[in-house]
Every structure is written in structure tokens, then in C-alpha cells.
Chain A
Amino acid sequence: MDITTFLASLESSGIATGIRNSLYIFPLIESTHVFGLAMVFGTIAIIDFRLLGVASTRRSFRRMASDILKWTWAAFAVTAATGALMFITNAGVYYHNFFFRTKMVMLVLAGINMLVFELTAGRSIDRWDKEPLSPLIGRATAVLSLAIWISIIFLGRWIGFTTTRATPAPPPEINFDNIFPGTPDGTVPTAPPNTR
């Protein structure tokens, strides 16, 4: 199966269709995505500033990492899941979007950067655990981590501004009384004309 067929099959899947057909689900998924990424960035930044000797300098790095990183991973799971759900609603468009592609590259770089840390400064934590500053390589990965995650936030916002939404804007006559639209034959009932 080539990529175009694959993307089209994602778009026509039941979940993607269900999200597109709802006026409410996509906005809620996107909001949850923003919450998740704020948590990912907020918690990672705390670790990075510790490595840089900017904040929390008197605390054991190991202790902080075990306190915080599990929450980072949980938030990352939420963000990745909601991101994937947004992707399948309009896969063909996102796949070809420059900012989406760059963002995916940045996510890979964030992973590589994390591995570099684990394989270098991460192996000698015993030596600097309570020191205000981590080794040079630790500080370098911390600066890179902050730069990469901030760029991911910018790129994500740019995707929103450079792609057309799969869900069209709702018709102006949409009404709160129609919060459960849809009839057995799949058509959306027309709201009564707005009297205001």
C-alpha cells in the first residue's frame, strides 16, 4: 500500500469520520492536546533548568527526575494520542505540511537528545547528583532540550495556521438545542431560523 492510499484509509476510518462529523470532538481533542503539551514542556523545563544550574540547584537531580518524569511521560502519552487523533482527521493535508514534517523531525531530535543525555551525563549522576551544575554535556543537552521543545510548540501552532480544517465552520444557524444532532438516516436536522 503506498502512502497516499494509507493516508486516505486513515482519513476514511470510522474514528476519523466520527471526529469530523462532530462539532465538539475536534475542539475538545485539540484543547486536551494543548493541556498535555503544556504539561510536557512545563515539567521538562523544570528538569532542564536544574541541569543548567538555574533553579532547584540544591536538590538531588535523581530525586527530582523520579518525582517529575513519570508525569512528563503521562502527559506525553496524552499529547501523542490526541495528536494522532487530530492527524487522522485530515492525514493527507498534515502529511504534506512543511511545519508538521519539521515538527515530527524535532520530536525525533528531542528523543535523540534525551538518549545522548542518558548515555553521557546520565551515567555519572552519582558524581554530580547534588552539585548545582551538571557536567557540560548535561548542560548542552538541557539547552538543546529547551530549544527543541519551544520550537515544537511554535511549529505546532504554525500547522494550525497553514492547514485548512477538515471540519468546516458550523453553519450560523447552529443552535445549542441541537447539541445531539443527527437523525437515523445520518442527516443533520436544520435548526429553526434564528429570531434574534
Chain B
Amino acid sequence: MTRFAEWLSQTYLSIVIQNHNSWVIPTIQSIHIVAIGVVVGSVFMVDLRIMGWAGMDQTLRQTTNRFGPWLTGGLYVLLATGGLMVIGEPVRELVTVSFWIKMFLVAVGTLVATVFQISLRKYDQDWEERVCSRASTKWLAILTFLIWVAIIILGRLIAYDHVWGSWSPAQKA
């Protein structure tokens, strides 16, 4: 991975970003955080609706119709800005344990959101009448939210990979 990161850092786009890093990197990171706000806000509103703590004047379907597209759009922005950050600073990103745990959780979070939306579209009535009020569904809603919280925290910890001590590949370089 270190070798791949070093190769990536020699590519044209990476060198362009590195040459303007004084403003390009902070700009990309700021856009990334704005998009995180949109994504975590959307997940939060759907989870609050499942918990029965907000949006009870709306059906679950109406709630996901409202926030689903923003979640998807936000994720695309995150993917694009995140990709640029990896290209611009490959070693800083790829040679950390925080980054890889984060990527794993992003995959889990995205999968859960996708399966949920497909299932809701298919079993609309079931969800509104039965599934949504189950305790297990509510626990899953809390867990999903915590996954996104962990993703945000791990994202910031990429800059502080030493917190993982000897688990961090950066410490061995």
C-alpha cells in the first residue's frame, strides 16, 4: 500500500494538487465537511422518524423520499472530494489504520441505507404498520446513526493516526 501511495503521489493530478496544497487541500476538506453535514443530517432525520421522535406528521416513506436523495447526493460529493484528498495526499490517507476502518464503515453504512430504501419501496405497508415500531428496528436505527458518527470521528483521526500506536502503519514507516 505504501508503494501504491508513493506511485499515486507521482501522478499528474496528485502533483497539481500538491503544488497548490496551501489552499486546495483545505478547500476540498471544507467541502467534504459541508457534505458530511448534509449526509449525517439526512441519516439523523430518517432515524429520528423511525424512533418516533420527529416527523410523526409524515409517513416513513415521505421522510425517506425527502432525505434519501440528499443522502445520495451528499455521498457522491463525499466520494469525489474524498477521492481528491487521497490523490492529493496518498501517503497521509492510505497509510493509516483510521482511513481503512472508516472505508469499511462507509461501505457498511451505504449498504444499510441502500437495503433499507429498497426494502421500504417494496414492503411499504409492512414498514409503516409493523416493522417501524419493532424494538429491533429502533436499535438498528441507533446503530446506523452510530456508524456515521464513527465515520466522522475516524475521518478526523486520519490526521492523528498515532492514536492507534503500533496498529498504525504510519508508525512503522
- Which A residues are within 8 Å of any B CB, using their own CB? 23-24, 26-28, 30-32, 34-35, 37-43, 45-46, 55-56, 59-60, 63, 67-68, 71, 150, 153-154, 157-158, 160-161, 169-170, 172, 174-179, 194, 196
Find out whether the CB atom of A39 lies under 8 angstroms from the CB atom of B166.
no
Secondary structure call for the B interface:
helix
In the complex, what distance in Å separates the CA atom of A32 from the CA atom of B152?
8
Tell me how many residue pairs across A and B have CB atoms closer than 8 Å. 113
Report the nearest B residue to A35, measured CB to CB. B152
A176 engages B66 (CB within 8 Å): no
- Chain B residues, CB < 8 A from A161: 22, 25-26
Q: A35-B153, A38-B37, A158-B26 are in contact. Are A43 and B162 (CB under 8 A)?
A: no
User: Separation in Å of the B148 CB from the closest CB of chain A?
Assistant: 9
- Contacts A34-B36, A174-B171 aside, 11 further interface pairs with beta carbons under 8 A come to A34-B155, A35-B40, A38-B37, A38-B41, A59-B58, A71-B44, A71-B48, A174-B162, A176-B164, A176-B165, A196-B172
0/1 string, B29-55, CB within 8 A of A gives 1: 110011011111110110010000111
15 contacting pairs across A/B (C-beta < 8 A): A23-B162, A24-B163, A27-B157, A34-B156, A38-B152, A41-B37, A41-B41, A42-B39, A46-B45, A59-B58, A153-B33, A158-B30, A161-B22, A176-B164, A176-B167
Cα A43 to Cα B43 with chains together (Å): 11
Looking at the assembled complex, report how far the CB atom of A41 sits from the nearest CB atom of chain B, in whole angstroms.
Answer: 4
* Least Cβ–Cβ distance between B123 and chain A, in angstroms: 24
Residues of A within 8 A of B157 (CB): 27, 31
Inter-subunit contact B34/A41 (CB<8 Å): yes
Complex CA distance for A144 and B42, rounded to whole angstroms: 21
A175 / chain B contacts, CB cutoff of 8 Å = 165-166
Q: Does B57 contact A (CB under 8 A)?
A: yes
User: Are A45's CB and B37's CB within 8 A?
Assistant: yes
In angstroms, Cα B57 to Cα A56, docked, is 12
